[in-house]
Structures are given as structure tokens and as C-alpha cells.
């Protein structure tokens, strides 16, 4: 056992051998057999008991969550996609005087919003 400094990064083989001698229990093969035998019930838990139904039920909750998330994402995407196909109305169109627009006068002139019947009639007339 040679003297070492705190910065010595080499193991001390003499001390190591002496410590190994007092800590070694012996008959590792018997110990190994004992551990492998003790592990036997665990294999059933890890593999045997896990049939396809167990696997499916284990995945059920995350699968439902994933399906809901996918459905929500698809809905958002569809709404965005359908909204994009509508003709865009620019600010200039909105601010244009009533007589310069393509819309029927009944829809843009008046203090209150037009009635639904008026809108339908105007759209049919324009066709």
C-alpha cells in the first residue's frame, strides 16, 4: 500500500487485493443460480401475462387521446382550408361609395343591416 496524494487517479492494487479478499463471499455460481431462480416469477409478469388484449388495453388510453387530438387538428385544418377559398374583400371594396360597388343598392344603402329576404332576392336578381 503505497502512499498516495488526493490527486492520485490510479487504483492501489495492493489495497484493492486486500479489500477484495475480505469482501469476497465465494461460490458465485450458486448465487447466480439463486438469483436466476428468484427472477423466474418476473418473466411471467414481463412476458407471459401480457397477451394481446393486455397490450391493446394498455394502449387504449393514449390511442383515444391521440385520435381526439388528430380529429381536432383535422377540424381546424378543414375550417382553415374552406375559409381560404372564399373571395377576399379588400378594405378598398368596403370603403367604396355605394354607387360604385357591384352590390345592389338595397344592400348597402340604409341605416340598418338588410333583411335576409332582401339579400336572397338581390342575389337571385344578380344571376
Partner 1 sequence: MWERLGSLPRAGTKAMSEEVQRGLRLARMADVRDAELAALAQAGDREAFGELVARYAPQARRVARAILGNAADADDAAQDGFLAALKHLGRYDPTRPFGPWLMRIVANAARDRWRRRKVRSAEAISPTLPAGQPGPDRTAESRLFDEALRSALDRLPEQQRLAVVLFDVEGYTHREIARILDIPEGTVRSHVFHARRALRKALAGWRESREDTV
Chain residues binding partner 1 by CB under 8 A are 1, 3-9, 11-13, 15-16, 18-26, 28-29, 31-32, 34-36, 38-39, 42-43, 46-47
Which CB sits closer to partner 1, 5 or 57?
5
3-state secondary structure of 9: coil
- What element of type H or E holds 126? helix 116-126
Which CB sits closer to partner 1, 30 or 93?
30
Q: How far is the CB of 20 from partner 1 (least distance, A)?
A: 5
Task: Provide DSSP, 28-71.
Answer: HHHHHHHHHHHTHHHHIIIIIT--HHHHHHHHHHHHHHHHHHHH
What is the rounded CA–CA span in Å between residue 65 and residue 72?
11
Q: How far is the CB of 21 from partner 1 (least distance, A)?
A: 6
Which CB sits closer to partner 1, 37 or 89?
37
What is the rounded CA–CA span in Å between residue 37 and residue 47?
16
Q: How far is the CB of 65 from partner 1 (least distance, A)?
A: 22
Q: How far is the CB of 62 from partner 1 (least distance, A)?
A: 17
Amino acid at each position: 500500500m503505497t502512499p498516495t496524494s488526493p490527486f492520485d487517479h490510479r487504483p492501489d492494487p495492493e489495497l484493492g487485493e486486500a479489500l477484495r479478499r475480505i469482501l469476497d463471499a465465494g461460490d458465485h455460481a450458486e448465487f447466480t443460480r439463486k438469483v436466476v431462480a428468484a427472477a423466474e416469477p418476473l418473466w411471467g409478469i414481463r412476458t407471459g401475462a401480457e397477451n394481446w388484449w393486455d397490450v391493446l388495453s394498455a394502449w387504449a388510453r393514449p390511442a383515444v387521446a391521440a385520435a381526439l387530438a388528430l380529429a381536432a387538428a383535422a377540424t381546424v385544418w378543414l375550417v382553415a382550408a374552406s375559409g381560404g377559398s372564399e373571395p377576399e374583400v379588400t378594405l378598398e371594396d368596403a370603403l367604396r361609395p355605394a354607387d360604385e360597388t357591384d352590390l345592389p343598392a338595397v344592400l348597402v344603402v340604409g341605416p340598418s343591416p338588410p333583411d335576409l329576404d332582401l339579400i336572397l332576392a338581390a342575389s337571385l336578381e344578380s344571376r
